[in-house]
Amino acid sequence: MHLHEQGYDAHYYDEDVVGNNGAGAAYDEVVSAIQDRGVTHVAIYGHSHGGGSTHDLAERLNANRAGIGTFTINVTVYVDAIQNDSDFDNDSELRFPPSSGHHMNYYQPNGLLHGGIVPGADNLDVTTTQWGQNLDHKTIDNNGTVINAVRDRIIQQMSQP
């Protein structure tokens, strides 16, 4: 909502909208934004399987960029990301999103579903902080500090040339 109010061409999707090859309505929307609405800077973020879909979408956009047009993926964000090869995928998403200019990764390491360190990213284990020490996979995406940090980082990185 805040991003909309600031004039961003923002869209929200269920992670299943992104196939494990990155194809789907979210990909089509980004391509449409670049080709039809003059968008040149892209940000992608997601929690849990949405983090895995963030990787898959960035990967497809990067692979097809020659046919899409001119754009940069300024920033991507994982929040306790899980790979999304299927609805039953439990693997932590630890791959850096291809061609992302800046990757923020907030995760917690406990339980059977958790993210982890992504090489090359700005990583934070939230359980090492006072505000996030009790967060788990189910609650991390609803935490106000996490939400604000993601929003602020996206706005900061999208203002970069």
Partner 1 sequence: MKPIIFSVLIIFSAASMGICQTVEIEPDPTVQKKIDEMALRLIHASTQVEVEESLEVLRQFEQTQNDKTALMRQVLYYLRHGANTEDRGYGAMVLFNKLDVDKPARVRAALSYLDAQDADSRKIASEVMGTVDSPEGKALITVCIENFFALR
Beta partners for 43?
Answer: 75
Q: CA 27 to CA 154: how far, in whole Å?
A: 19
Return the C-alpha torsion angle 156, 67, 55, 142, nearest 10.
50
In the complex with partner 1, which residue's Cβ is closer, 19 or 69?
Answer: 19
| SS3 category, 125 | strand
Task: Tell me the closest approach of the beta carbon of residue 112 to partner 1, in angstroms.
Answer: 5
In the complex with partner 1, which residue's Cβ is closer, 41 or 56?
Answer: 56
Where does this chain bind partner 1 (CB under 8 A)? 16, 20, 48, 85-90, 110-113, 136-138
Task: Tell me the closest approach of the beta carbon of residue 106 to partner 1, in angstroms.
Answer: 18
**Residue 158 vs residues 101, 109, 127: alpha-carbon distances, Å:** 10, 29, 28
In the complex with partner 1, which residue's Cβ is closer, 110 or 128?
Answer: 110
Task: Tell me the closest approach of the beta carbon of residue 113 to partner 1, in angstroms.
Answer: 6
Task: Tell me the closest approach of the beta carbon of residue 110 to partner 1, in angstroms.
Answer: 5
In the complex with partner 1, which residue's Cβ is closer, 16 or 122?
Answer: 16
Q: CA 133 to CA 111: how far, in whole Å?
A: 14
